[in-house]
Structure 1
Amino acid sequence: MGAALPLGDPAPADGALPEDIRIDGEADFGAYLHVPFCRVRCGYCDFNTYTATELRGARQDQYADEVLREIDLAVNVLGARGALRPASTVFFGGGTPTLLPAGDLARMLHGVREAFGLADGAEITVEANPDTVTDAVVSRLAEAGVNRMSIGMQSSVPHVLRSLDRTHTPENVARAVEAGRAHGLDVSVDLIYGAPGEGLADWRASLETAIALEPEHISAYALIIEEGTKLHRQISRGEVPAPDDDLQADMYELADAALAGAGYDWYEVSNWSKGTEHRSRHNLAYWRNQDWWGFGPGAHSHVAGLRWWNAKHPAAYAQRLAAGESPAVGTERPDAEARLLEAVLLESRIRDGLDLSKLPADARQAVAGLIADDLVEPSAAIRGRLVLTLRGRLLADAVVRALTA
């Protein structure tokens, strides 16, 4: 059911933004719509998701209407500040968005379009579990305006899928990709490496399978063991081995070489695309700390340096909206030191790099040592950008520590 929400100040019941924040009405704006429902809980997952037995009165068939209420709230809040802007990106994440009827997703997207408008060429993404993707579902989504689908493949090897508690088959992944392509959607597939029992040969097989599907975009994430998950408990009891850092490093290097050889360029530590036009613009907005409103239980938002987050449980989220209140339960405004740390953490991960002028003088002096250690590209540093080398991507945490010590 997800990690605990962060500490912060109480959010106002009406959702109003502080009068003293300055909102750039010309800046890009994104909408994230969280769908917190899953058929089963994967053993590694700590996202804010709920199976049918965990809903405590919340109803999937009423969920679209609840999100539409929050969209109305957002219009009032942003409109009061003259800060309504067309959405440059819309992202349905989860959970399993495609567990809802495609018509419900279409209604939510229509709500965003009516409330904010959509910028020309807006990127509209739906995450999808392969088991829930059919040609009819994709057809309805494409008709509604969805133009990108991110498919949770994770692996093509059955024993690896079982270790992650994934229920889909590799065949369903291929069918989902074909359906997306048939209806003109950009397709991304997500992979995870370092699962218990996964060897380098298994990982190579998954990469080869993903590349053969010819998606426009591939994400590859190292398995992280989150406290409170089933997999964490299994490792704590000695039932399965913990991920091996050296093996995961080998897997990352294999992925980068295989994807580069197939025409994919890395643009964020865990993401590769065929050309800049197929990068995930919504995720880039997070890494660049742009503005977005997160709709749904546990969703986080950011506008002009202010952050807030919603009640986690779908029932609590619905109750607050039914009472005419904002679903937000906490808010914070990071200070200059926290904003710098965040910029280093996020912007150093992307191919475009971190603007070195954002760093204080002592941190800029550390860059020479990072170049000497082959962690940072020297030519980019000369141009005033900090861009990680392959070795630097493997040791990104060490780079952040050096710049923020």
Structure 2
Amino acid sequence: MSSTRAPYACDPAKSRGRLIPEPPSATRTPFQRDRDRIIHATAFRRLKHKTQVFVQHEGDHYRTRLTHSLEVAQIARSIARTLGLDEDLAEALSLAHDLGHPPFGHAGEEALDLCMQPFGGFDHNEQTFRVLTLLERRYPEFDGLNLSWETLEGIVKHNGPLTGPAASAKAQARPVPRSIADFSTRWDLELAEFASLEAQVAAVSDDIAYNNHDIDDGLRAGLFTLGDLADVPLAGPIVAGVRRDHPGLDEDRAMHETVRRMIGVMVEDVIAETRNRIAAARVASPEAVRALGQPLAVFSETMRQNDIGLKRFLFAHMYRHERVTRMTEQAKLVVADLFDRHLADPSLLPPDWQAELGAPGNAKTARVVADYIAGMTDNFAFETQARLKDGSGGTGSGP
């Protein structure tokens, strides 16, 4: 376990600062300050009522966006600590990475993206960036949270470069989201390079968390059983190991032990593979990490194949399960209806949102409506649609 900062770690003492200069904190590093601002943000509190897979009202023990983000942060801090990275930056990125998700998880995002196609589309990563740089309005000197360059860079590029030869085929196939492109002209986020190792660790921690916790939630919901995991890569052998080590163990404890072991194996794999790649590339600074042209914090090839197998199982047995698809189709209808109603009649928006509007029906109005809906919790979206459908009035003070 590392107790010192590695030379390739981001050093808060060498941060590139904030777009709007502020006096330094006497008690916190810039990255600790970023983390604290994220935790105190309104958008962060709303995550407790936003869907991960199951809509929030379906049960108290299923993951929400908030509990998922906390679990990602725990995994990321553990990996960052072992690799000698800045734990606070990794934590800040983990806590912020889902702030832009609309209600109802990926179903809500798909519906909002479809509604926004005539106006540039909708992407939850861009929306997270909008929350952090524009939509949170808490401070007298600026909109957004005025986070450090390293945190904003990590949010934008935690899944890799957005432009240039190192960008993924998916990133190259579409233009850089306008909010990010416009901001980067003011403060260069170096969109053609990889992000810091802390951002890469946050991204792979997200994969570890949602795979394992979706298995946990799926088992808890009765969508599949531990026996169904027998032929699933990684999961099957671990279930067998739990049964062998603890004969007669009840299903609930066996489920938790299985997930615990899976997380541990995946974390150890990332640490080992990342160390091997760092040694092979001989990176000795954060700048060298960014300029390398390939990621460092990743699964080994064997674990990558296991990860693909886990995702295939979850897609077939959970995300496409009739109980889940019934909810997602309902959610899409709610989001589309809310968008159409507010775009057609922007007076339904709360007064402070109406102040941001352009001409009726134009791209600026559509973006304001999308920002408003994306900020809704699951419950607020349901309640707002119900009020509008029964004619009982507008949406009040907003989500």
One fold, TM greater than 0.5? no
TM-score tier, shorter chain, comes to under 0.3
User: Counting helix residues as a fraction of each chain, which structure ranks higher?
Assistant: 2
TM-score norm. by structure 2 comes to: 0.26
TM-score norm. by structure 1 comes to: 0.26
Q: Which has the higher contact order (CA 8 A, sep 6+)?
A: 2
